[in-house]
C-alpha cells in the first residue's frame, strides 16, 4: 500500500455551518493539526477591546495583530487557544467579541499578518484548517477543499444551543439578526471574503448529523491520499 500523504484540508463556510466541529474531528481521525483561523481574528479583536481601543481604528487592530502570539493546545477540556500566554478560549467566543470582529477582519494589514501565521503552521501539510478564506487565499493549493453550508435558521439554532449551554442568555431574533449581519459582512468585504473556491466540495449540513459530515470529509481526504 502506498504511504499516506500529509495533505492540506481547507474547510470554509458561514457561522454555524459546522466548520470547527467537523475540522476538529477530522483532524483527530487523521492525526492532523487542527487550525481554527477564526480564533485568531477573535483573539486580535479581544486584544483591541481589552486595550480600550476602537476596532474601527486600523492602526490599533494592526498593532494588536503584530503583538499576538498564538499557541494551540489540547487538554482535558478540549482545544485551547493561548494568546500571549493567557488562555482566551472562552472569552473570545462571547457576543461582545463576536459583534466587534467585522472591522478587524476587514483590515487588510491584520489579514496579511494572520494569513502568514496560518501558512507557517501548514507548511508541512497534515493540517485541517477552517475559516472563511482558507481554500481561496490561505491554502489555495489544498488537496481537499470543503465548503459547508446550512440554512440560516438551522445555523442560528445551533449557535443559540451552544451559547445557552455556556450559560449565556440568548434572544433568538436578536441572534438571527447578528448572524445575518455577519454573513453579509463576511461575504462582501474586499479582502478575504467568504467565497466558494471553484474546486471545493459542497456539503449542506442542515439535514446531516455531525458523524455523517465527518465521515464524508474523511472519505474525501482518503481518496486524496491522506
Ligand atoms: O464560529 P463562527 O463561524 O461563528 O466564527 P469564527 O469561525 O470563529 O470566525 C469569527 C469571525 O472571524 C468571522 O465572522 C469572520 O469575520 C472572521 N474570520 C475571518 O475573517 N477569516 C477567517 N479565516 C476566519 C474567521
Ligand atoms: O465553526 P462553525 O461556526 O461553522 O460551526 P461549529 O462551531 O462547528 O458549530 C456547529 C454546531 O452545530 C456544533 O454544536 C455542532 O455540534 C452542531 N452540528 C453540526 O455542526 N453539524 C450538524 N450536522 C449538526 C449539528
Most ligand 1 atoms within 8 A of CB, residue of 21, 132, 133 to mutate: 132
Cell numbers found for residue 192: 478575504
User: For residue 1, what pLDDT is reported?
Assistant: 66
CB 191 within 8 A of CB 108: yes
Nearest to 88 by CA among 72, 104, 64, 110: 72
Most ligand 1 atoms within 8 A of CB, residue of 38, 148, 192 to mutate: 38
Dist. CA 162 → ligand 2 center (Å): 9
- Strands 201-204 and 144-149 turn out to be parallel
User: For residue 181, what pLDDT is reported?
Assistant: 95
Reduce the DSSP state of residue 45 to 3 states and report it: helix
Alpha-helix residue ranges (DSSP H) falling in 33-171: 37-50, 58-67, 95-98, 101-105, 108-121, 152-165
Q: Chain-centre distance of CA 67, in angstroms?
A: 20
Helix, strand and coil content of the chain, in percent to the nearest 5, comes to 50, 15, 35
User: For residue 57, what pLDDT is reported?
Assistant: 98
Torsions phi, psi for 127 (to 5 deg): -140, 145
Is 35 touching ligand 1 by the criterion CB < 6 Å? Answer: no
Cell numbers found for residue 102: 467585522
Indicate the domain borders of the chain: 8-223
User: For residue 2, what pLDDT is reported?
Assistant: 72
pTM to 2 decimals? 0.96
Is 143 touching ligand 1 by the criterion CB < 6 Å? Answer: no
Vertex 111 angle, CA 105 and 114, to 5°: 110
Give the CATH fold of the 8-223 domain. Answer: Rossmann fold (3.40.50)
The DSSP-derived string for 146-189 is EEEE--HHHHHHHHHHHHHHTT----HHHHHHHHHHHHHHHHH-
Long-range contacts of 121-124 (CB under 8 A, 24+ apart): 121/33, 121/35, 122/8, 122/33, 122/35, 124/6
Q: List per-residue pLDDT tens for the chain, 226 residues long.
A: 677 899 999 999 999 999 999 999 999 999 999 999 999 999 999 999 999 999 999 999 999 999 999 999 999 999 999 999 999 999 999 999 999 999 999 999 999 999 999 999 999 999 999 999 999 999 999 999 999 999 999 999 999 999 999 999 999 999 999 999 999 999 999 999 999 999 999 999 999 999 999 999 999 999 999 9
Torsions phi, psi for 150 (to 5 deg): -160, 160
Dist. CA 68 → ligand 1 center (Å): 17
User: For residue 185, what pLDDT is reported?
Assistant: 93
Dist. CA 56 → ligand 2 center (Å): 29
Strand order in the sheet with 86-87: 70-75, 78-83, 86-87
Q: Who contacts 149 (Cβ-Cβ below 8 Å, separation ≥6)?
A: 13, 14, 17, 202, 203, 204, 205, 206
CB 129 within 8 A of CB 37: yes
Is 12 touching ligand 1 by the criterion CB < 6 Å? Answer: no
Amino acid at each position: 500500500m502506498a504511504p499516506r500523504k500529509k495533505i492540506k484540508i481547507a474547510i470554509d463556510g458561514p457561522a454555524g455551518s459546522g466548520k470547527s466541529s467537523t475540522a476538529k474531528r477530522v483532524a483527530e481521525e487523521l492525526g492532523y493539526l487542527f487550525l481554527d483561523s477564526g480564533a485568531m481574528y477573535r483573539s486580535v479583536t479581544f486584544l483591541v477591546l481589552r486595550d480600550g481601543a476602537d476596532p474601527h481604528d486600523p492602526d490599533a487592530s494592526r498593532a494588536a495583530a503584530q503583538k499576538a502570539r498564538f499557541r494551540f493546545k489540547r487538554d482535558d477540556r478540549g482545544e485551547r487557544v493561548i494568546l500571549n500566554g493567557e488562555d482566551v478560549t472562552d472569552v473570545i467566543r462571547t457576543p461582545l467579541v463576536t459583534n466587534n470582529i467585522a472591522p478587524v477582519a476587514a483590515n487588510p494589514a491584520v489579514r496579511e499578518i494572520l494569513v502568514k501565521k496560518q501558512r507557517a503552521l501548514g507548511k508541512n501539510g497534515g493540517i485541517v484548517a477552517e475559516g472563511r478564506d482558507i481554500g481561496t487565499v490561505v491554502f489555495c493549493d489544498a488537496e481537499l477543499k470543503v465548503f459547508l453550508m446550512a440554512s440560516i435558521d438551522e445555523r442560528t439554532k445551533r449557535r443559540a444551543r451552544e451559547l445557552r449551554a455556556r450559560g449565556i442568555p440568548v434572544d433568538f431574533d436578536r441572534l438571527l439578526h447578528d448572524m445575518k449581519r455577519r454573513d453579509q459582512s463576511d461575504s462582501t468585504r474586499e479582502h478575504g471574503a467568504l467565497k466558494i473556491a471553484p474546486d471545493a466540495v459542497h456539503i449542506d449540513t442542515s439535514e446531516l448529523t455531525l458523524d455523517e459530515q465527518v465521515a464524508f470529509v474523511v472519505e474525501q481526504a482518503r481518496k486524496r491520499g491522506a
